[in-house]
Structure 1
Amino acid sequence: MLNLSAIKIALAERSLSQAAVAERCGVTREAVSNWLSGESIPRPAKLKLLAQALGLELGALMPRPRVEDPIVAYRTRTQTPMSTRARHAAEDMGRHLRQLMPFTGARQLFHPPTLKHCELDAAGIQEVAAWKRRELDLASEEVPSIQQLLRLLHEFGALLVPVFWNGDREGHEHALSIYLPDSRTYWVVINLACGEDDARYWLAHELAHCLTLHALQGEAAEAFAERFAHQLLLGPSATSSRTLAEACLGHAGPAGLSSLADITKAESVFGTPIFKALAAFQRAEGGRAPSFIASTLNISVQAANELSHTLWTRPPSAETDH
C-alpha cells in the first residue's frame, strides 16, 4: 500500500492535480485516482515516475511498518505477490523467530552492510551485482555455487533456516526473507525441496532483499531482487537435476528434516543456529513444543512433532560442536 499521507502532502506542496500526475506518469487519471484511494499500487516503473513527479525518494512512497512488526518478502512459484494468508503465516514465523533470538547465540555488534541508495535503474543494479561477483572472484561467465551464495549471506549476517516445503499448503514456496527490526536480524528461509538451480536464483534473490534491508517495498522490492539475481548469476544456465537436499545433504530426503544425521549435516552446510535454538527453547519450556516448531518453520504438525522428538532426545553436548 502507498504512503498516502506523504503523497497528499507532496501534491499540496507542489500544487499538483491528479491529471498532472497522470500525465507525468504516462497513465490515465483513473489510474492515479485508484492509487490515491488505495485500490491499486503502481507497477515498479510507474512507481519510480510517481516518485519523480512528487519529488520524493522511492522508499518514501511505501509506508514503514511498525518497528516491532516482522518485515517479510517472497514471491510464489508463479512470480505473483504473496496472498494475505501467506503473508500472515510468514509474519507469524517472524514473531516465533523473535522468541528464539535469546537461544541462537547470535550477536549483532555492527549494522549489516546495506546499500545507501536503492534504485530500480539497470545500471545501478548491475553495479551492485558486479560488486558481489568481484567479492567471489568469479570469471566473466562463471555461475556462483550454492556454497558461494551461502557465504555472501553469512557475510551479510543473515541467519539461514533450511526447511522442507513440499507445496501442500499455502505459503510453502522456495524461499522467504524475514527482517526483525527490533533485533536487527535477518532470517533467510530456504526450501530444501527446490531444485539446485532454482536454489541459486532464490538465494541470490533473498540476498538482494538483505542488501536493501527493505528500503524498497512491494513490487519495487521484488523487481529489484529479480533483476539483481539475474545479474549476479551471469553465465550459462546450469542444468542440475538435483534438489537442494540432494546437493547439500547427499540424498533427496523424506518430507522433512527429522533425523539427527540430517540436522547435523544441515547445521554444517548452512551454518544455521535454528535447530540448536529450537532444542534450547524446548528445554527452557520444560518439554517438547511441536506446535511452536510448526509455526516457526511453517511446517505440518506431523513434521514438527518428528523434529521436536529428535531435538528433545538429542544430547545438549552434541549442539556445542555446531
Structure 2
Amino acid sequence: MQKVIHSDNLKLALQARGWTQKDLAREIEVTAQAVTNWMQGADFPRPDKLLKLATTLKLNFADLVASSTKDQPVIAFRKKGGAKTTDAHILKAIAMGSLLKPLVPYLPELRSLRVQIPSPTTQYDALQATAAEVRARIGLGGQAVLSYAHLIDQFGTNGAVVVPVLWGEKQNHKNALHILLPQEQVTFIFLNLDTRLEDFKFWMAHELAHVYTPGLAGTEEGEDFADALAGALLFPKSLAEVAYPQAVRHSSVTGEIRELQRYADEHSISLFTVFSEINRYAKAHGLPDLRCKDTDVHAIRNVSRGKLISETLFEPTPPEPTAYIAAAENVFRSTFFIALKRMIKEQGTGAGYLQQIMDIAMQDAVTLHGELSR
C-alpha cells in the first residue's frame, strides 16, 4: 500500500495553529499546490520535507502518515552513547526506507534461506549456546578471534545489504542504522566507517543479531538482545572462564585492567566488552565481580583509542569515489552501489536520490553520482 499523508490529522494540526495550507506551504518552503497534492493523496513528501512537516506541526510518523504497517520499513538505530532517538530521527529513517524500495529490483537475487534465532533470550546459558551456534556456523571455535570479515559473510548470506558510509566520528546521531523492508524481505544496514575498530566490530555483531531476529527489530527487547548477543559473540564464555582467574589473581585494579586490555588487544574489541563479558560470566557462576569498575574502564578507553576504520581503509581520507565504491564492493561485499549504478543507467536517477537514501551532503552525492554514471 502506497503511503499517503493522514489529511485529517494534518487539518487538525493546522486548525490548532490557525494556519491555512498556504501558511504551512510558506513555513516549510514548498508550493501551496504541493501541500494540496499531499492532502489529496496525489503525492507524498520527499524525506526532507516530510521531516520538516513533522517537526513544524509536532506530529510523529504514526500521526502524520497513513500506511499499511505490513509495508512500513522497520527501523533500528545503533546510537552514539546515550544519544536519544527522537520521532524526527525515526521519521527520517522510515522515509529513507521508503525511498530504498525502488532500488530493491536492481539488487542481485538474495538468498531466500536465512538463519533465524527462534527463541531469542538474554538468559546467560541460553545466550551463550546461541553464540556458540553462530560461531560454529561461521567456522570458529570458542576462543578464536572473530573478525569483521566473518560478520560480513553472515550479512550476505542472510538477505542483508551492507552500506558503508562516512558519517563522521562525532557529528552524526547514529553509528549504525538498520532498515528492514518487510514486504521486500530485504535489510539495509548502514555502517559508519568513521568508527574505531574495537567499536565497529561490536556494532556489526549487534546488527547481525537484528538480522537473525527480524521479528524483534525496532523494539527495546530487540536492542537488548542484540547488545547481549554481540558481547557473547565477540568474547564468549569459553574466553571469559579463562580470563576471569587470570584477571582476579592480580592484587591491584591496575594489574586487573592490564590483563583485560591484553585480551581486548588480542581480539580487537573494546576493553569495556571484555570487562562486561567477564563480569556477566562471574555473575552467572556466583563469583565476585572484578575489582575494577566501569568508570575505571571508561577512563582508560578515553585516552587509548585505535584508528578509525576509514583511516585503515583509505589514504588519504576522505577517499576518492572510486576507492570508496571499491572498498564497499571488495571489503564489505556490498551490492548497494552495483544496484545504484544499474538504477541510474536505466532510470536516469539523479544525485538527489543518493543524497536522500544515504543521508549525505549534496556535494558528496553529486560527486558519487558522477562516478556511478560512468
- Give the match for residue 264 of structure 2: 237
- The one-letter code sitting in structure 2 at the alignment partner of 1:176 is L
**Separation (CA, whole Å) in 2 of partners of 1:252 and 1:165:** 16
**Separation (CA, whole Å) in 1 of partners of 2:170 and 2:360:** 10
- 1:74 aligns to what SS in structure 2? strand
**Separation (CA, whole Å) in 1 of partners of 2:352 and 2:320:** 15
After superposition, where does 1:190-205 map in structure 2 within 5 Å? 190-205=191-206
- Give the match for residue 319 of structure 1: none
**Separation (CA, whole Å) in 1 of partners of 2:311 and 2:212:** 28
**Separation (CA, whole Å) in 1 of partners of 2:82 and 2:117:** 25
* Shift of residue 164, structure 1, vs aligned partner: 0.6
**Separation (CA, whole Å) in 1 of partners of 2:153 and 2:315:** 22
Q: Alignment length, in residue pairs?
A: 243
Higher RCO (CA 8 Å, separation ≥ 6 residues): 1
Bigger Rg, which one: 2
**Separation (CA, whole Å) in 2 of partners of 1:180 and 1:189:** 14
- The one-letter code sitting in structure 2 at the alignment partner of 1:84 is D
Instruction: Determine which of 290, 302, 308 is the counterpart of 2:363.
Output: 302
* Shift of residue 280, structure 1, vs aligned partner: 1.9
Instruction: Determine which of 105, 119, 122 is the counterpart of 1:117.
Output: 119
After superposition, where does 1:135-146 map in structure 2 within 5 Å? 135-146=137-148
- 1:156 aligns to what SS in structure 2? coil
- 1:284 aligns to what SS in structure 2? helix
**Separation (CA, whole Å) in 2 of partners of 1:211 and 1:66:** 21
CA, structure 1 residues 301+215, in 2 after alignment: closer, same or farther (shift >3 Å)? same
CA, structure 1 residues 306+274, in 2 after alignment: closer, same or farther (shift >3 Å)? same
- Give the match for residue 272 of structure 1: 334
Alignment RMSD (CA, Å): 2.2
Which string of whole-angstrom CA distances, capped at 9 and with x for unpartnered residues, describes residues 121-170 of structure 1?
22222211111122234344333111111112222231111111115765
CA, structure 1 residues 157+306, in 2 after alignment: closer, same or farther (shift >3 Å)? same
Percent identical pairs in the alignment equals 26
**Separation (CA, whole Å) in 1 of partners of 2:186 and 2:113:** 10
| Contact map agreement 2:163 2:328 (CA 8 A) in 1 | no
- The one-letter code sitting in structure 2 at the alignment partner of 1:161 is V
- 2:204 aligns to what SS in structure 1? helix
- Give the match for residue 67 of structure 1: 70
**Separation (CA, whole Å) in 1 of partners of 2:200 and 2:329:** 17
- 1:153 aligns to what SS in structure 2? helix
- The one-letter code sitting in structure 2 at the alignment partner of 1:118 is P
- Kindly indicate whether residue 93 of structure 2 is the aligned counterpart of residue 90 of structure 1: yes
TM-score, with normalisation over the residues of structure 2? Answer: 0.60
| Contact map agreement 1:75 1:81 (CA 8 A) in 2 | no
- Give the match for residue 102 of structure 2: 99
**Separation (CA, whole Å) in 1 of partners of 2:83 and 2:141:** 33
TM-score, with normalisation over the residues of structure 1? Answer: 0.69
Structure 2, unmatched stretches of 5+, are: 1-67, 240-262, 269-304
Q: Which moved more, 1:205-214 or 1:232-241?
A: 232-241
**Separation (CA, whole Å) in 2 of partners of 1:193 and 1:112:** 30
- Give the match for residue 161 of structure 2: 159
- Give the match for residue 345 of structure 2: 283
| Contact map agreement 1:89 1:298 (CA 8 A) in 2 | no
After superposition, where does 1:225-264 map in structure 2 within 5 Å? 225-234=226-235, 236-238=263-265, 241-247=306-312, 249-251=313-315, 253-254=317-318, 258-264=320-326
Q: Which moved more, 1:194-203 or 1:210-219?
A: 210-219
* Shift of residue 299, structure 1, vs aligned partner: 1.0
- The one-letter code sitting in structure 1 at the alignment partner of 2:110 is R
Which string of whole-angstrom CA distances, capped at 9 and with x for unpartnered residues, describes residues 32-54 of structure 1?
xxxxxxxxxxxxxxxxxxxxxxx
- Give the match for residue 276 of structure 2: none
**Separation (CA, whole Å) in 2 of partners of 1:141 and 1:79:** 31
CA, structure 1 residues 176+252, in 2 after alignment: closer, same or farther (shift >3 Å)? farther
* Shift of residue 250, structure 1, vs aligned partner: 4.2
CA, structure 1 residues 298+188, in 2 after alignment: closer, same or farther (shift >3 Å)? same
CA, structure 1 residues 75+214, in 2 after alignment: closer, same or farther (shift >3 Å)? same
Q: Which moved more, 1:223-232 or 1:79-88?
A: 79-88
Which string of whole-angstrom CA distances, capped at 9 and with x for unpartnered residues, describes residues 222-245 of structure 1?
110111000000052135722222
- 1:75 aligns to what SS in structure 2? strand
